[in-house]
Amino acid sequence: MLFIFTIGSTLYVSNSTNTLLFEAYVELETAKSIEQTTPAINAQRKMLERKIEIATKNKKFFIQGLMLISAISGWLMFYGFLKWHREIQPIQDEIARLQRDKLRIEIDSIMLDRQASLSITDERPTSST
pLDDT score, position 31: 86
Q: Are 21 and 52 in contact (CB under 8 A)?
A: yes
pLDDT score, position 52: 93
pLDDT score, position 41: 87
Structure confidence by residue, pLDDT tens digits, 88-125 = 999 999 999 999 999 999 999 999 999 888 887 766 66
Mean confidence (pLDDT) of the chain:
90
Instruction: Say how many residues make up the chain.
Output: 129
pTM: 0.63
Amino acid at 13: V
Higher pLDDT: 3 or 80? It is 80
Q: What mean pLDDT is predicted for residues 68-93?
A: 95
The C-alpha atoms of residue 68 and residue 62 are separated, in whole angstroms, by 10
Structure confidence by residue, pLDDT tens digits, 27-44 = 989 888 888 888 988 899
Q: What mean pLDDT is predicted for residues 6-26?
A: 92
Q: Are 38 and 48 in contact (CB under 8 A)?
A: no
Model confidence at 71: pLDDT above 80? yes
Amino acid at 33: S
Distances (CA, A) of 7 to 4, 15, 46, 64, 77: 5, 12, 34, 12, 15
